[in-house]
Chain A
Amino acid sequence: MTIKEYLKKFEEKDERILAKIITMVEEEYKESEEILRYINKKIGKAYRIGITGPQGSGKSTLIAKLTKRLLNRYKEIGIIACDPSSPFSYGALLGDRIRMNELFLEKGVFIRSMATRGSLNGLAYKTKEVADILDAFGKEIIIIETIGVGQVEVEISNLVDTTVVVFVPESGDGIQILKAGLTEIGDIFVINKSDRIGADILFYELKNLIEISYQNSKWKPPIILTQAVNNYGIEELEKEIVNHYNYLVENNLLEEKREKAIIRELVNNFEKEILKILWQNEKVRKSFAEVSKEVLEKKLTIEEGIKKLIREVKYDQ
């Protein structure tokens, strides 16, 4: 099949072709460029929700229950579930689907698992592109699940319209919560497994923190107590996502947020490409080899080595 035929079938909403097109982009086939160009004009209709939080906090189960609810109002939902690749074997065990069994036969629900393949920001490399493809395919809602994250993987918030951060009662005391990172990116906070001891303490600590750190923001993130497996609190989560959407729209923030994300993506990818070009340069590689030798022999400090390299790279241009 030619790429034109693929795109025609994509247009006809052939799910198998959707899956194939995702693979082509994920694997950076040469057709990828044409696909992305084609898709570029069709994106922006879907509302994107990010679900992040530590390993085992119940993200996948929460997504399954939330999706079930959303199906009452929307027909087309896409889910991207990221899981880590092994840094040793480069293999991956993608297990988020186990919690989403109830969605496997739902028409209109498309789930794709993605391995991080070395990406360190909590998402797979091509997560944004895959979300765009699902958007162009006609998904009304796209839910992106990060891998189980620690404190610093905040990239998700640049990719989606609403970021939901999921904690569990064991996520830590006030000091953990005060630390930077995850607690700064939530539009909605969820304390899942809230039947466990400590949920109320975490609730109040989180509440205090939010009052301080979001005091200049018009949007005050709500905190929702859930028990995903028991379907408890999911209705409220859905309601707050809608509230956040309304907030973004009423304050003309949705477009602004999305534009910022596109520019950010442009910067990131530009920098990546520049680095690639740089490393392909014979002279740069040669100077680097020389400088690293000098650094290892302690003739130069790392800082001096870098200065020397930059001088040479600049001179080269």
Chain B
Amino acid sequence: MEKKKIKILIAKPGLDGHDRGAKVVARGLRDAGFEVIYTGLHQTPEMIVNTAIQEDVDVIGLSILSGAHMTIFPEVLRLLKEKGATNIHLFGGGIIPDEDKEKLYQLGVGKLFDPGTKISEIVEYLNNLFKEK
């Protein structure tokens, strides 16, 4: 079964209201031909995973600037596993220190992008992800 259209959930967990980055990325991915679901601010891991499953997305991208990345990424991973949806790729962006990045990579989180990343880098990353498969 080969998939023609790649669906991506861009979600903004946490209590802060800094959603510009998530919106720019969502828009940029749309322009790159992806189908992007954007669910707005203040998403809990449960909401994110529920949405990802109902929408049958291929990828979840989280934007975290609040410092809660060490809680939220592992929790999303755990819920994906619990619901048997480990085929969904999880990546993200935000202000994440390198040492935390390493830990998250080891848990199985995909690439974590820094502020200032070009959209084209993210697009290339996602395209490569599906070329391999």
Contact = CB atoms under 8 A, between A and B. Distances in A.
Contacts of A86: 30-31
A93 B84 CA distance: 26
A90 B83 contact: no
Interface in B51-98: 51, 53-56, 83-85
A19 B53 contact: yes
A160 interface: no
Q: Determine the interface band of chain A, counting residues with CB < 8 A from chain B.
A: 20 to 34
Q: Determine the interface band of chain B, counting residues with CB < 8 A from chain A.
A: 20 to 34
Contacts, number: 84
A3 to B, nearest CB: 10
Contacts of A98: 38-40
Majority secondary structure of chain B interface residues (helix, strand, loop or mixed): mixed
Contact of B47 (A29, A105, A110): A105
Contact of A94 (B36, B43, B53, B85): B36
Contact of B35 (A20, A94, A101): A94
A69 B121 CA distance: 44
Nearest to B29: A91
Interface string B1-37: 1011100000000000000000000110111111111
A105 B56 contact: no
A260 B50 CA distance: 36
B102 interface: no
B46 interface: yes
B83 A16 contact: yes
A86 B34 CA distance: 10
Residue with the highest number of chain A CB atoms closer than 10 Å, among B3, B37, B51, B85: B37
Contacts of A29: 1
Given A19-B53, A112-B54, A89 B33 contact: yes
A97 B39 CA distance: 6
Contacts of B4: 27
Residue with the highest number of chain B CB atoms closer than 10 Å, among A27, A97, A105, A112: A97
Contacts of B83: 16
Contacts of A93: 26-27, 30, 36, 38
B5 A113 contact: no
Contacts of B43: 101, 104
Given A101-B39, A105-B46, A92 B55 contact: no
Sorted nearest first, the 10 A-B pairs with minimum C-beta distance are A98-B40, A19-B56, A91-B30, A104-B47, A91-B33, A93-B30, A23-B56, A94-B37, A92-B35, A89-B33
